[in-house]
Amino acid sequence: CISSLDGFMDAIRARIANMPVFLSTDDAGLEGMFKRTFPGLVTFPKRYHTAGVRTTPIADALSEMLLLGRCRRIVGTYYSSFSKFSAIWGEVEYFEVRGRECSRNSFVDRMLLPAVYRATLQ
Ordered per-residue pLDDT tens for the chain, 122 residues: 678 889 989 999 999 999 999 999 888 888 899 999 999 999 998 877 666 666 677 788 889 999 999 999 999 988 888 899 999 999 999 999 999 899 998 889 888 877 655 555 55
Compute CA distances 28 → 17, 101, 110, whole Å.
24, 24, 33
Question: Can you give the pLDDT at residue 51?
Answer: 62
Angle at 115 between CA 104 and CA 86, to 5 degrees: 55
pTM: 0.80
DSSP state of 42: E
Question: Can you give the pLDDT at residue 112?
Answer: 85
What three-state secondary structure class fits 54?
coil
Other C-beta atoms closer than 10 Å to the C-beta of 32 total 13
Distance CA(68)–CA(71), nearest Å, equals 5
